């Protein structure tokens, strides 16, 4: 082939988003294997060495890292319209208890009590349990970081929405974050490392839930009955 032909031929492009998604998937698998080994190591420890502050750090940071990887994969799949969604009627109390069970050891290591409260005659919600579980799990991990001693998951109906709220007794959300309800990607906060990605992901998942032309949404406030912040996800 002539040099001109070689020079004139376009080099194949690199789909960087696909490369990132594949790398994130591999990272998630590696993290899963690390956590399996960590769990086996914990079982081999004597009882007096199991509940330590280091355990709390490992479990919090690994949960946070896993949450970020899940969010990145989810956003990638949303971008290419390949995010599976299977809404169905869910028992709300069972759903919440299953989320709490996944974080029970982390809550215990941080000495944080967590209870649930269903206000009124609300028993079922119509949503994708996997996607909603990812949202609530990520919110719980973040809330555990800022709560002092107590977290509450409260559920009620605000027609036409079913509302799931995560409340805490911490210092609450920064006022700037509360005011920027429609702009969750606020840039990197140098003091906390936050990008707003988790809130953006939660808002996108909420919006995927639609009924009768009404979309779900999230809301932040410092109106928690426990005195701290409150995250609400409203599903029609």
> pLDDT of the chain along its 236 residues, tens only?
544 455 555 455 667 677 877 887 788 888 888 888 888 888 888 877 777 777 778 888 888 888 888 888 888 888 888 888 999 999 999 999 999 998 888 898 888 999 999 988 878 999 999 999 999 999 999 899 899 999 999 999 998 999 999 999 999 988 888 887 766 655 545 455 455 788 889 999 999 999 999 999 999 999 999 999 999 999 99
Pick the closest to residue 65 from 93, 92, 96, 38 (CA basis). 38
Provide the residue count of the chain. Answer: 236
Give domain status of residue 10, yes or no: no
Q: Do 49 and 132 belong to one domain?
A: no
For the chain, give the longest Cα–Cα distance.
78
Q: Do 71 and 95 belong to one domain?
A: no
Per the structure, how many domains does the chain have? 2
Q: Do 164 and 73 belong to one domain?
A: no
Question: What does pTM read for this prediction?
Answer: 0.78
Q: Do 51 and 156 belong to one domain?
A: no
Give the end-to-end CA distance of the chain in Å, rounded to a whole number. 62
Q: Can you tell me the distance from the alpha carbon of 226 to that of 137, in angstroms, rounded to the nearest whole number?
A: 20
Give domain status of residue 122, yes or no: yes
Give domain status of residue 49, yes or no: yes
Beta-carbon contacts of residue 38 (< 8 Å; ≥ 6 apart): 58, 62
For residue 168, give the CATH number of its domain: 3.30.565.10
- How many CA atoms, within 13 angstroms, populate the side-chain half-sphere of residue 26? 6
Q: Do 69 and 180 belong to one domain?
A: no
Domain of residue 40: give its range. 16-79
Pick the closest to residue 152 from 217, 219, 225 (CA basis). 225
């Amino acid at each position: 082939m002539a040099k001109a032909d070689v020079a004139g031929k376009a080099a194949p492009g690199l789909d960087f988003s696909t490369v990132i998604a594949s790398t994130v998937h591999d990272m998630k698998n590696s993290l899963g294997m690390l956590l399996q080994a960590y769990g086996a190591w914990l079982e081999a420890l004597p009882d007096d060495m199991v509940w330590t502050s280091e355990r709390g750090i490992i479990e919090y940071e690994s949960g946070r890292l896993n949450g970020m990887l899940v969010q990145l994969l989810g956003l990638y799949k949303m971008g290419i319209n390949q995010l599976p969604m299977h809404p169905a009627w869910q028992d709300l109390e069972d759903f919440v208890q299953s989320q709490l069970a996944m974080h029970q050891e982390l809550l215990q290591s941080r000495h944080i009590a967590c209870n649930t409260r269903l206000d009124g005659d609300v028993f079922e919600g119509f949503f994708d349990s996997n996607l909603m579980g990812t949202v609530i799990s990520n919110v719980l991990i973040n809330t555990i970081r800022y709560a002092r001693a107590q977290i509450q998951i409260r559920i009620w109906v605000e027609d036409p929405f079913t509302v799931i709220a995560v409340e805490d007794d911490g210092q609450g959300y920064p006022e700037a974050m509360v005011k920027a309800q429609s702009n969750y990607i606020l840039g990197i906060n140098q003091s906390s490392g936050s990008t707003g990605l988790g809130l953006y992901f939660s808002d996108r998942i909420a919006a995927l839930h639609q009924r009768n032309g009404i979309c779900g949404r999230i809301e932040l406030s410092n109106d928690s009955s426990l005195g701290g912040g409150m995250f609400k996800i409203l599903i029609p």
